Amino acid sequence: MTVTEITPLDKRRSKVILDEDFALALYNGEIKRYHIETGEELPEETYREIMEEILLKRAVERVCYLLKSSDKTEQELRKKLKDGYYPGEAIDYAIEFLKKHRYINDEEYGRRYVEYHSTKKSKRQIQYELQRKGLSKEAVTDILEEHPVDEEAQIRDYIRRKRLEPEAMTLEERRKAMAALGRKGFSFETVNRVFGSKYGDDGVF
């Protein structure tokens, strides 16, 4: 493989771009040690040594460091490593290491997430956020069945915090309040049920 470009990332590290835009990040001292230069060939044995002696270990260290600050899903960790120019082989190795030692489990992450947010976020919002983090729709559905979200309690809490009096509100005031809850992911039917409204065809949602 040919080194097509070496681009500084910061004062200590550079991005080494190889054939077909394949890139990896190395410290400048490592680039000098392995005699990596633009336009030169990177022998396969040298690449394997870099992978096995540096990148695999560094990828594991990186994901372990990331998990110290907060729980993350497999997809989030993969993205972090990819953004840091770790090759796919190093990413897979690091993720398998975490799974082997039970440092990550997306379903357990999902359960903890629902337990923590079930009194603050709507079911729809939780579904969206967990799927965005890489959990499958089926896994999220199963988790929410195990840990139901009490949306009506959240809406009643919203009414109390905003000091609303549904029975005394005008239609326009109701529509604004219900639209605000709709943007948080609560369904019209659930909001309408809590508000005790008869206005079901006003097009709020």
CA 158 vs CA 147, 169, 185: distances in Å: 21, 15, 13
Q: In whole angstroms, give the CA distance from residue 45 to residue 66.
A: 30
Burial grade of 191 (CB within 10 A; 0-12, 13-18, 19 or more): buried
Q: Is residue 25 part of a domain?
A: yes
Global confidence as pTM = 0.83
pLDDT over threshold 50, residue 200: no
Q: Given this model, what pLDDT does residue 203 score?
A: 40
Q: pLDDT at residue 202 above 60? A: no
Residue with more model confidence, 1 or 78: 78
Domain total in the chain: 4
Residue 4 has pLDDT above 60, yes or no: yes
Whether residue 190 sits in one domain with residue 176: yes
Give yes or no: residues 7 and 35 share one domain. yes
Same domain for 6 and 31: yes
**Which range of residues forms the domain containing residue 173?**
151-195
Which of 152, 148, 144 minimizes the C-alpha distance to 189? Answer: 152
Q: By C-alpha distance, which of 82, 70, 79 is closest to 24?
A: 82
* Pair 95, 129 in one domain: no
User: Rounded to whole angstroms, how far apart are CA atoms 38 and 1?
Assistant: 11
Residues 140 and 155 in one domain: no
pLDDT at 168: 84
Domain-embedded: residue 49: no
161-192 pLDDT tens trace? 999 888 888 889 888 998 999 999 999 999 98
Give the pairing type, strands 5-8 and 23-27.
unpaired
Q: Work out the number of other CB atoms within 10 angstroms of the CB of residue 87.
A: 21
Residues 92, 76 share a domain: yes
Strand partners, 14: 8, 26
Q: Give the C-alpha separation, 89 to 81, whole Å.
A: 11
Residue by residue, DSSP assigns 33-50 as HTT--TTSB--HHHHHHH
Q: Has residue 107 got a pLDDT over 80?
A: yes
pLDDT band at 197 (very low <50, low <70, confident <90, very high): low
Task: Verify that 73 and 114 share a domain, yes or no.
Answer: no
Please check whether residue 205 lies inside any domain of the structure: no
In this structure, are 114 and 98 located in the same domain? no
Say how many Å lie between the first and final Cα of the chain, rounded: 56
- 87-101 pLDDT, tens per residue? 999 999 999 999 999
Instruction: Let me know whether 59 and 97 are in one domain.
Output: yes
Whether 174 contacts 197, CB under 8 Å: yes
Condensed to tens digits (0 to 9), the pLDDT of residues 32-79 reads 999 999 999 999 999 999 999 999 999 999 999 999 999 999 999 999
Is there a single domain that holds both residue 135 and residue 111?
yes
Residue burial 72-86, b: 16+ Cβ < 10 Å; e: rest: bbbebbbebbeebbb
